[in-house]
Amino acid sequence: MNSKNIWQVHIPKRVAQAVSGFPADDEARLMEVLREFEVNPFSGDITKIKGENNKWRHRVGNYRVFYSVCPLSKLVEVKEIRRRTSSTY
């Protein structure tokens, strides 16, 4: 782990498999955002999910990364990554 990386990011296997099926440019942008979570999960185009504790949404082009943050253990857990549609949220 790089000394700048203070957060641990957990990406479930099903999420990683889904991302690998996205177009190459989109996959690269999403993976870059997930690497940035290791330094600061609160930067970029994010919104806290209303009514939820420590659940966030990060916008990456037409995709949305939904994740939770545990500040005490410095853990970011990616819940899912979805392409934005009229029914995404």
Who contacts 46 (Cβ-Cβ below 8 Å, separation ≥6)?
56, 57, 58, 59
DSSP states of 17-31: HHHHTS-HHHHHHHH
Distance CA 39, CA 85 (A): 29
Domain assignment of residue 2, yes or no = no
Lowest-confidence region among 1-5, 10-14, 34-38, 51-55: 1-5
Q: How many domains would you assign to the chain? A: 1
Distance CA 46, CA 61 (A): 12
Q: How confident is the model over 43-87, as pLDDT tens digits?
A: 999 999 999 888 999 999 999 999 999 999 999 999 999 998 766
The residues pairing with 59 across neighbouring beta strands, listed in sequence order, are 64
**CATH number of the domain bearing residue 15:** 3.30.2310.20
Which residue did the predictor score with more confidence, 50 or 89? 50
Distance CA 22, CA 34 (A): 15
Q: State yes or no: pLDDT of 29 exceeds 70.
A: yes
Domain assignment of residue 89, yes or no = no
Parent domain of 67: 8-83
